[in-house]
Amino acid sequence: MTTAPPPIEPRPGIMRAAARNLGWLLASRGVLAVLSLFYLGIITRSLGVTGFGRFALITGAAQTLATLVAFQSWQVIVQYGVGPQERGDDDALGRLFRASAVVDAISAVLGALLAWAILE
């Protein structure tokens, strides 16, 4: 028989650490936004109107494809893998891993085919 784990007690300073990490995250996003404005200005002047239009279409198509075919298998494994892991059901966990790998492979092939079809 197993005993219940002790209750989790909050560590001192955890809110300060979370705030510091949030600050770093927001600062990096801000720096990225400023740098993207610089590179867009440079690329607009370098490519001209027609070249920049092509660049915008290719970038937009790539981002759209990445969003459409992205399958985050880690979320499925975290959501549905806990039960088999706790029960020690290695067969069910293996089936979950295999199914996630197959779906990842299919989404990668689908994304490559869509990119080829759109950008061809």
The predicted structure's pLDDT at residue 5: 75
The predicted structure's pLDDT at residue 35: 94
- Alpha-carbon span 24 to 120, nearest angstrom: 40
Domain limits of the chain? 70-120
The predicted structure's pLDDT at residue 1: 58
- Alpha-carbon span 37 to 39, nearest angstrom: 6
- Alpha-carbon span 111 to 109, nearest angstrom: 5
Locate 87 and state its tokens. Answer: 């029960």
Kindly list the averaged pLDDT for each block of 10 residues, start to end, along the chain of length 120. 71 84 92 92 91 90 80 86 90 93 88 80
pTM: 0.52
Residue 90's identity, in one-letter code, is D
- Alpha-carbon span 41 to 44, nearest angstrom: 5
- Hunting for tokens 């001209």 — which residue is that? 48
The predicted structure's pLDDT at residue 4: 75
